[in-house]
Amino acid sequence: EVLSKEKVSGLNTLPASLKERAWLPVERDQTWLQKYYPGAMSPANRLHRASEVSFTGFYGSIAASQKPLFHAGKLPLKEIQDALGFKEPTRIEVVQHFKVLIRLWEEDTAELESDAFVKSVKNIYSYFHQEFLSRKAQPQDQAWLRTQLQNYKTLWNYCEFYKPEHTFQREYPCFGSRRQKIAPDSPIREVFELLGQKPYPGIEDYIDFLDEVAEDSRGEALEGEDLKCAIAVLQKLSTVFKEEKESPSDYDFLLLSDDNLLLPPETLYIPDAPWYLEAIPDRDKIKVLHREIPPQMATEAGCHSLLENVIEKPTKIKEEERIEWQNWSKKKQSLVRSPAFLGGLARLI
């Protein structure tokens, strides 16, 4: 406090003079840095201004790749930091350091189970909570963060990073190993939701899953877990449409064929007249809906009907006879499907 009033270098006080000068040594031992601050930058061999460095400890753990680290022992009072020109890490510096940690994980070059790596990730989550979930945080600030980290795997769980949209806070076996349950306690839960995690899947999540499986299959028939999950997801999607009173026709999604391909609905036929199949030339070119996929949802999504949309053209029957027999067949079909017929049949049984 006394020195802060002393004049040095003309009219400047000591703090003001130091604020303008490069006078701070920084840590350059890369072995030590990577052990305690994964992703830390390798600084130039020179003295630095206070504004150019970050303190070790919490600040270092959330921004070590963005600024050289200065050992200060005990963190100085905020007033002293401001007087000398020290600056807390900015939100963009923290986000950039988070991306560095994610890249280290993707490249498998970090000791992922080390206390320092886990501590850095948790401290960044703590910073996100304070910066973007406090009362002063604005919706545009939260949108900015999500935009910065879009398409990144940002949710840490048991030494793995996951995309927020690939996790839920409950177990959903229909997704298989492609989706995970991550249910952290507060305040991490709120941070994960800020980053895009949902408690449970919605219609778009089921559709995105099908798109992902289709893209990975590259036009080949599904098998194993992917086949099992595609069937389960489509069955669940049919239920969700009904529960949420949504129409499948309002969504663009893929359906499963009987030869286990994920295809657009308009390229598929519902097998409501299976006797046609054997008579169709080039049968392999006709794609039929998988028998385990709900036909009502498929119809609303845009699938064709073998019965209604396929025209039979016999080669040895006159056209007027074909029409007559087709009308007779439809009449009998309506009869056996009528409530009166079904009710009478039920009484006999």
Asked whether the beta carbons of 161 and 153 are under 8 A apart, the reply is yes
pLDDT of residue 276: 81
Alpha-carbon span 38 to 155, nearest angstrom? 18
Average pLDDT, the chain: 91
| pTM for this model (two decimals) | 0.80
Query: What's the average model confidence in pLDDT over 22-51?
Result: 94
208, 178 contact by CB (below 8 A) = no
Residue 8 in this model has a pLDDT that exceeds 90: no
pLDDT band with cut points at 50, 70 and 90 for residue 337: confident
pLDDT tens digits along 264-312: 999 999 999 888 887 777 777 789 999 999 999 999 999 999 888 877 6
What confidence score (pLDDT) does residue 339 get? Answer: 86
- The reported pLDDT for the residue numbered 338 is 86
Q: Which amino acid is at 10?
A: G
Q: Which two tokens stand for residue 92?
A: 């963009």
| Position 246 confidence tier, pLDDT thresholds 50, 70, 90 | very high
The rounded percent of the chain whose pLDDT value lies above 70 is 94
Tell me, what's the pLDDT at 92? 98
User: Residue 171, exposed/middle/buried by CB under 10 A (0-12, 13-18, 19+)?
Assistant: exposed
Query: Is the CB of residue 209 less than 8 Å from the CB of residue 235?
Result: no
Question: Could you tell me what percent of the chain has a pLDDT over 90?
Answer: 71
Predicted pLDDT at 220: 97
Could you write out the DSSP letters of every residue in 127-150?
HHHHHHSSTT--HHHHHHHHHHTT
SS3 content of the chain, % helix, strand, coil (to 5): 50, 10, 40
pLDDT at 346: 80
Task: Tell me which H or E stretch contains 82.
Answer: helix 78-84
Instruction: Compute the average pLDDT of residues 194-208.
Output: 97
User: What is the C-alpha separation between 165 and 192, in angstroms, rounded?
Assistant: 10
Residues in the chain: 349
| Residue 100, token pair as written in the block | 């560095």
Answer whether 89's CB lies under 8 Å from 54's CB: yes
End-to-end CA distance of the chain: 99
Q: Give the chain's count of helices (H) and strands (E).
A: 14, 11
pLDDT at 9: 55
Q: Is the pLDDT of residue 178 over 80?
A: yes
